[in-house]
Amino acid sequence: METNEALAELTRRYFTTRGPVTLNDYLRWSSLTAAEGKRSLYAIESELEHEVIDGRTYWFATPSFSPKRLSTVVDLVQGYDECIMSYSESRDVLLADVTDLADAPEVQPFLHAILLDGA
């Protein structure tokens, strides 16, 4: 596999499993340069959706739901799991009202997460 193909596949896997995320989230997670990250994102851009919210562009794959799914999977994820740590720029949206918790020192945002069917 050539370098560009490999970068496109890495990018595809990241954005389809972590989205919605920003390019900066991806750069932090992958350790790619900004040029490499942009080039690989634009290589798969047609496979992704994006939305601009508060000046940030969030990229994500359109979910494919199977109506035949008979059970759900619940995962309890500790706060330092790669699934949570892979967000840098957009980490603040994991807990939308974090400003409301500023005066509540007993609350520790991002300590744990619950994923339903991997999301």
Domains of the chain: 3-60 (1.10.10), 74-116 (no CATH)
Collect all residues with Cβ–Cβ distance below 8 Å to 12 and sequence separation of at least 6: 44, 47
**Angle formed by the axes of helices 34-44 and 3-18, to 10°?**
80
Chain segment 84-105, per-residue pLDDT in tens: 566 666 666 655 454 555 555 5
Better-scored residue on pLDDT, 94 or 48: 48
Q: Average pLDDT for residues 38-42, to the nearest whole number?
A: 95
Better-scored residue on pLDDT, 41 or 86: 41
CA distance 61 to 70: 23
pLDDT of residue 38: 96
The pTM for the full model equals: 0.60
pLDDT at 31 over 70: yes
Better-scored residue on pLDDT, 3 or 44: 44
pLDDT at 118 over 70: no
**Mean pLDDT over each residue of the chain, to the nearest integer:** 78
Confidence of residue 66 (pLDDT cuts 50, 70, 90): low
